[in-house]
Amino acid sequence: MARDTTPGDEREDHMEGDGNDSATSRRGLLRAAAGATVVGAASTAGCLGVTTPADVAAQNEVTGNVAHFVGPSWLADNREDVVVLDARDQANFRTERIYGARRVPFDAITAQESTDAGVVPDTETIADAFGDIGVSPEDDVLVYGASVGSRVTRTAFALAVLGHDGDIHALNGGLYGWNGRIGTGDRNRIAPTEYDPDPAESVWVTREWLADRVGAVEGENPGLVDVRVPEAYLGAPGSDALDSDHDRHGHLPGAVGIHWVGNVSGRRMTEPGRLIQLYEGEAELDRTGTVVVYGDENVDPTSTWLSLRAVRFEDVRVYDGGFGEWANVEGDRGRYPVETATSVVIETEGSVGGDDDGGDFSCTG
């Protein structure tokens, strides 16, 4: 089925734009190409390599025992029952989006607050942000972006932080994999709602929580995953990957380095079997134990958080303060050690697709 770029969305409490832009014209051409393909082989002579929107959607389906990630057909079947959230920036949202989607105020959902135990998610600010776009705690939600990158997973994590009661889904393939209705242009404001959070502190950890456990006796030390590039994890002298604002470089003792892009293959999640091999086989993480993921900040680690949850790791948490907080802590730094001597880097082969270029629908014969 080709995309429908019908402007307007009377079912929602807002209106889509008029759709008279280059993106809408391009979608019209895609519909024409897809229609010609559906007619039959005779109409596509010399065009055996053509790819239709339906083909792209099929490539992004999700099967098997995978949590959270769903394919385009799932959304098509459940569109009336879920709130669709767009995690991209405003410019891309205005150009084209899934029909009826609401844009996530990304700066707000990454908000943090300082406590005696360390930096933690600012649940009040995050709750207000979702309430402002009409999301209620009981809503089933689907999040999408240009791919399944860290903006999407941070949005899913932010909902989990609030103790969201509804189901949380991420669209495999992002907007590129969707072959349903598309909206464009400006919109009126959605009626806000009151989001009353019930913070789920079991999905994040603090600096002090880690300090009590890092280097503890065997059985008490959580599995640690550093999601930064290997050069940052290793504290490689002179590397451009090192943050000049950090007082110390390296990683938390016992952490294994697995760059987060290994979770993504283009616009799709990495094949689940590979994720299990990567994290359980090669990194030897215990799927029944506690696993803590961290990076330099609080966005990229959520890709690993959601990927591990997707393949049924039971207790995965994010250190929201990140390595930046740990490396620059004041006071007794012996309580917050940084390590470089012992290092374990697991090689990954991931790539993140960011440009929604529509794929290859050309027919050159």
Of 153, 183, 213, which residue is a domain's last? 183
Establish if 276 belongs to a structural domain.
yes
Establish if 360 belongs to a structural domain.
no
347, 211: one domain: yes
Of 135, 153, 183, which residue is a domain's last? 183
234, 341: one domain: yes
Q: For residue 190, what pLDDT is reported?
A: 86
61, 206: one domain: no
Q: For residue 225, what pLDDT is reported?
A: 98
How far is residue 176's CA from residue 355's CA, in Å, rounded to a whole number? 9
Pairing of strands 182-183, 97-98: antiparallel
Calculate the CA 334 to chain-centre distance. Answer: 34
Q: Which two tokens stand for residue 179?
A: 């072959």
Q: For residue 187, what pLDDT is reported?
A: 67
The boundaries of the domain holding residue 107 are 22-183
How far is residue 233's CA from residue 226's CA, in Å, rounded to a whole number? 7
172, 26: one domain: yes
Q: What residue ranges of the chain have pLDDT lower than 70? A: 1-51, 53, 187-188, 216-219, 350-351, 353-365
Pairing of strands 204-205, 315-319: parallel
Q: How many domains does the chain have?
A: 2
237, 119: one domain: no
Q: For residue 57, what pLDDT is reported?
A: 78
Q: Which two tokens stand for residue 133?
A: 């776009």
| Residue 112 main-chain phi, psi, to 5 deg | -130, 160
224, 87: one domain: no
Establish if 13 belongs to a structural domain.
no
170, 218: one domain: no
Q: For residue 332, what pLDDT is reported?
A: 87
3-state class (DSSP) for residue 290: strand
How far is residue 364's CA from residue 129's CA, in Å, rounded to a whole number? 47
Of 155, 183, 211, which residue is a domain's last? 183
91, 137: one domain: yes
Establish if 83 belongs to a structural domain.
yes
Residue 177, Cβ neighbours under 10 Å: how many?
Answer: 24
**Per-residue CA distances from 91 to 87, 95, 97, 270, 344 (Å):** 12, 6, 11, 28, 40
Q: For residue 54, what pLDDT is reported?
A: 76
159, 285: one domain: no
Q: For residue 218, what pLDDT is reported?
A: 58
CATH number, residue 236: 3.40.250.10
74, 161: one domain: yes
Residue with tokens 């464009």: 184
308, 346: one domain: yes
How far is residue 185's CA from residue 288's CA, in Å, rounded to a whole number? 46
How far is residue 126's CA from residue 108's CA, in Å, rounded to a whole number? 6
Q: For residue 251, what pLDDT is reported?
A: 97
Q: For residue 219, what pLDDT is reported?
A: 55
Q: For residue 26, what pLDDT is reported?
A: 36
Q: For residue 150, what pLDDT is reported?
A: 96
DSSP code string of 293-334: EE-SSSSTHHHHHHHHHHTT-SEEEEETTHHHHHHT--S-GG
Q: For residue 72, what pLDDT is reported?
A: 95
Establish if 189 belongs to a structural domain.
no
179, 30: one domain: yes
3-state class (DSSP) for residue 135: coil
